[in-house]
A = this chain, B = another copy of it.
Amino acid sequence: DIVNMLMQSPIEPLLANRHIVITAGPTREEIDPVRFISNHSSGKMGYALAKAALALGAKVTLVSGPVNLSPPAGIEVIDVVSAEQMHQAVMKVVANCDIFIGCAAVADYKPQQKTQQKIKKSNSELTLTFTKNPDILSDVAHLAQPPFTVGFAAETQDVAHYAQDKLKRKKLDMIAANDVSQAGLGFNSEKNALNVYWNNGEKNLGVADKSQLALTLMTLVAQRHTEKMSSIK
């Protein structure tokens, strides 16, 4: 794990004096007091990124959906359930941060209305209408003074195409794409495979343990962020 990696090779504090906000895990959208809609995100990648950022010297705030992971020592964790709660929490903390990484698998849709009582199964069919949730990543990237914004794309087809489209459409600085359709990778897995894209650049980080991959990705984020800062000055 990352602690062992740190013991093996000393890490440059590339992110010293940087405040990083990271989202992790799924969100849950309640249908009624009993049922909800969610997704298969375990939060492992986001938590690994938070630990990697800490290891690189950053101050880290982790906004986490419902996961079964222990809050990492030295990291401020804000627990949320729904996409709207995550949106609110992020908007509160993101204003003065340097880097934002949207790693959470935020539910795109929420039920149009939450019923206060459990829906009875009296009908043979049930039709539910869902409306769009706020787009956290896009809202952060469209701030007047946005942080360096990194998104994730979890697609099952045309991964590169969707990732590059999302990068431009949402005005992101960088996007990391993984193919969740590959068995044993991505959601709920210990390993991941990432392709990272930015304006006029890309890098294949290959298949690796999530904590290893997180350190590689955070290092790349730190480099690109520093380049962007020096190009602005």
A150 is an interface residue with CB less than 8 A from chain B: no
- Quick one: which of B36, B121, B126, B129 contacts A40, CB cutoff 8 A? B36
* A:103-138 near B, CB below 8 Å: 105, 107-109, 112, 116-118, 121, 124-132
A156 is an interface residue with CB less than 8 A from chain B: yes
B contact residues around A127 at 8 Å (CB): 127-130
Number of interface residues of A (CB under 8 A): 35
| Mask of A122-163 contacts with B, CB within 8 angstroms, 1/0 | 001111111110000000000000000000001111000000
B contact residues around A72 at 8 Å (CB): none
CB distance from A63 to the nearest CB of B (A): 20
- Quick one: which of B121, B130, B154 contacts A125, CB cutoff 8 A? B130
- Asked if A117 contacts B157 (CB within 8 A), the reply is yes
Number of copies: 2
CB distance from A65 to the nearest CB of B (A): 14
- Asked if B154 contacts A34 (CB within 8 A), the reply is yes
A31 is an interface residue with CB less than 8 A from chain B: yes
A212 is an interface residue with CB less than 8 A from chain B: no
Give the docked Cα–Cα distance between A135 and B85 (Å): 35
B contact residues around A156 at 8 Å (CB): 33-34, 116-118
* A:7-49 near B, CB below 8 Å: 31, 33-40
B contact residues around A116 at 8 Å (CB): 156
CB distance from A47 to the nearest CB of B (A): 16
Give the docked Cα–Cα distance between A68 and B112 (Å): 30
A180 is an interface residue with CB less than 8 A from chain B: yes
A100 is an interface residue with CB less than 8 A from chain B: no
List, sorted by A's number, 7 A–B pairs whose CB atoms are closer than 8 Å: A33-B181, A34-B40, A36-B38, A36-B40, A37-B37, A109-B126, A118-B155
With A34-B39, A35-B38, A35-B39 known, 10 other A-B pairs at CB within 8 A are A33-B180, A34-B187, A36-B38, A37-B38, A117-B156, A121-B132, A125-B131, A127-B127, A127-B128, A127-B130
